[in-house]
Amino acid sequence: MASRGQSGKCQAQAEQFLNAWFEVRQLIQALNLSRFKQEGLSATQFMVINVLNPAGPTTAVELAERLNVHPATIVRTLDGLEERKLIGRTRNVEDRREVHVTLTAKGRELQNSARGGVGRQIATIFCSMSETGRDALLAGYCEFAEAGRRALGNQKQR
């Protein structure tokens, strides 16, 4: 259990972490924005391409929930992606209301290219950090992820 002084310090550090994390998210969004503009895609189309699992289908409802967009937005987005032959849609034969979405070969190529391009830019930024900074960042992220898994596990048990 942390003392009151440590708790105040921890709260201040948590705020610094959140500020830095939001800044990193904005950086990654800016890198992605540049990439999807090059491909002539809307932001929502690009997000769909990036969250689709190349190993199997995802339902349109799952996509809408995952991206926090209205189902009608997903339908319009998928229409545009299907028109460009980046995704394929099939209806579930047992429940015709359910639509399964998969990446086409062209869609997987775009997904890999986009991830690779952004990944290379992030790697360049990461490698420009000091080795000490990289080691600390990796250790901190791994510890944070583990603490998050524990916290979520505790929530599920309640």
Q: Give the span between the Cα atoms of 81 and 94, in whole angstroms.
A: 25
This prediction has a pTM of: 0.66
Which residues partner with 88 through β-bridges?
Answer: 102
**Rg of the chain on CA atoms, in Å:** 20
Per-residue pLDDT of the chain (158 residues; tens, 9 = 90+): 455 556 889 999 999 999 999 999 899 888 887 877 888 888 889 889 988 877 678 999 899 999 999 999 999 999 999 999 999 999 888 887 788 999 999 999 988 888 788 888 999 999 999 999 999 999 999 999 999 999 988 776 65
Amino acid at 41: L
Q: Is 93 helix (H, G, I), strand (E, B) or coil?
A: coil
Longest C-alpha distance within the chain, in Å?
61
Q: Is 59 helix (H, G, I), strand (E, B) or coil?
A: strand
Phi-psi region of 89 (alpha: psi -120 to 50; beta: other; left: phi over 0): beta
